[in-house]
């Protein structure tokens, strides 16, 4: 019998467990400090309206990776879904990601794709050759006006710092399109699980070889890592080392929940780009399941703040001082045997669900035989 310990029942831990459990000689224990599985992907139906709620904020599954796309569909039916996001700025409503409609509306023009390309290139700051941060990336490719309207205020609210302190990679997540395609994602496959995300985790972990212990916090000193065949740790990296080099900074989000009749905003997600509006976006969750009929609705105003020790970490900030601490923690990780750190929290990276799944599937290949 091989004994494995997994810390965390989000996608990283659950994929590892599901794959290991295929071997009847593997015994897997998962420790999960929350009272549910699924990490931040957890969904549940609202007790009053029966609307499926994305409890930790909107999750739309999307990927270019066919292996990951096929893998997840073993555990759910994914209903085709296209995420279309709007942005409110100075009492106007625009289409995101920035596309031809946004450009024409914002500048009061009727440009065609080639004209728009030329126009936007003319707005970009050509003196920035190699953008070093979020702001430079924006100024280089879309110019000051679009940057200030759609990114500056929103990003300041979401990340709690000046965009020039953030890496350019955050902005690179969003495309700028010179056509009318308003699909928020550029990935080939996109869908929402018909019965929510939690069912996926329930199915993944439904094996006699897997024991999930909820409400169980992992305290490294309480466990003899060497007594397991291997340990997979998906919790926060700094917490594992008892914050000996200080805390890695994360942003967290919190929500104000509201009930209403009918349809509140006519779309799943609307962003609020003005700095003067305290929330970043409003999500109305029944629009994530357009195949269901609900007379009532629930919408959430989303706010961001710095993570306190008791908050759920969401977005790794990766500021300069964080990267220095990260290096020190990584050196400590190298010294350990018998344990793998994986996932968004344990590697302190901004990863989407599909990245996490792909990486876990790759890592576990070394252990299933």
In the complex, the residues that contact ligand UDP under the rule CB under 6 A are 87, 96, 150-151, 154-155, 158, 170-171, 173-174, 271, 273
Q: 310: Cβ–Cβ under 8 A, 6 or more apart, which residues?
A: none
Secondary structure (H, E, C), the chain: CEEEEEECCCHHHHHHHHHHCCCCCEEEEEECCCCCCCHHHCEEECCCCCCEEECCCCCCEEECCHHHHHHHCCCCCEEECCCCEEEEECCEEEECCCCHHHHHHHHCCCCCHHHHHHHHHHHCCCCCCCCCCHHHHHHHHCHHHHHHHHHHHHHHHHHCCCHHHCCHHHHHCCCCCCCCCCCCCCCCEEEEECCCCHHHHHHHCCCCCEEEECCCCCCHHHCCHHHCCEEEECCCHHHHCCCCCCCCCEEEEEEEEEEEECCCCCCCEEEECCCCCCCCEEEEHHHHCCCCCCCEEEEEEEEEEECCCCCCCCEECCCHHHHHHHHHHHHHHHHCCCEEECHHHHHCCCCCHHHHHHHHHHHHCCCCC
> Smallest gap, in angstroms, from Cβ of residue 184 to ligand UDP?
7
Nearer to ligand UDP, 237 or 273 (CB): 273
Catalytically annotated residues: 173, 177, 251, 281, 302, 350, 352
> Smallest gap, in angstroms, from Cβ of residue 273 to ligand UDP?
6
> Smallest gap, in angstroms, from Cβ of residue 120 to ligand UDP?
17
Nearer to ligand UDP, 174 or 361 (CB): 174
Nearer to ligand UDP, 16 or 193 (CB): 193
Nearer to ligand UDP, 76 or 155 (CB): 155
> Smallest gap, in angstroms, from Cβ of residue 224 to ligand UDP?
37
> Smallest gap, in angstroms, from Cβ of residue 95 to ligand UDP?
11
Nearer to ligand UDP, 236 or 316 (CB): 316
> Smallest gap, in angstroms, from Cβ of residue 69 to ligand UDP?
19
CA-wise closest residue to 93 among 281, 288, 298, 302: 281
């Amino acid at each position: 019998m091989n004994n494995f310990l997994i810390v965390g029942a989000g996608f990283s831990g659950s994929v590892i467990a599901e794959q290991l459990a295929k071997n009847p000689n593997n015994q897997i224990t998962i420790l999960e400090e929350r009272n549910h599985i699924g990490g931040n992907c957890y969904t549940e139906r609202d007790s009053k309206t029966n609307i499926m709620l994305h409890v930790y904020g909107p999750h739309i599954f999307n990927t270019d990776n066919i292996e990951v796309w096929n893998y997840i569909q073993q555990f759910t039916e994914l209903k085709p879904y296209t995420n279309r996001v709007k942005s409110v700025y100075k009492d106007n409503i625009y289409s995101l990601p920035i596309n031809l409609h946004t450009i024409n509306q914002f500048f009061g023009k009727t440009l065609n794709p080639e004209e728009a390309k030329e126009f936007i290139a003319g707005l970009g700051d050509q003196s920035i050759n190699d953008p070093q941060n979020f702001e430079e990336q924006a100024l280089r490719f879309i110019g000051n006006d679009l940057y200030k309207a759609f990114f500056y205020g929103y990003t300041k609210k979401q990340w709690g710092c000046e965009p020039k302190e953030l890496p350019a990679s955050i902005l690179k997540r969003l495309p700028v399109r010179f056509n009318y395609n308003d699909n928020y994602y550029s990935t080939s496959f996109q869908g929402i699980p018909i019965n929510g995300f939690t069912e996926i985790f329930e199915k993944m972990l439904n094996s006699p070889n897997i024991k999930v212990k909820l409400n169980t916090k992992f305290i490294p000193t309480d466990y003899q890592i060497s007594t397991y065949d291997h340990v997979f740790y998906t919790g926060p990296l700094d917490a594992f080392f008892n914050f000996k080099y200080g805390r890695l900074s994360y942003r967290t989000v919190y929500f104000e929940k509201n009930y209403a009749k009918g349809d509140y905003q006519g779309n799943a997600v609307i962003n609020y780009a003005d700095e003067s509006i305290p929330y970043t976006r409003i999500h109305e969750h029944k629009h994530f399941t357009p195949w269901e009929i609900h007379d009532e609705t629930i919408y959430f105003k989303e706010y961001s703040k710095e993570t306190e020790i008791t908050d759920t970490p969401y977005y790794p900030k990766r500021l300069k001082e964080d990267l220095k601490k990260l290096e020190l923690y990584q050196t400590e990780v190298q010294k350990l045997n018998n344990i793998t750190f994986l996932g968004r929290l344990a590697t302190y990276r901004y990863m989407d669900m599909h990245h996490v799944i792909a990486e876990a599937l790759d890592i576990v290949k070394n252990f299933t035989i």
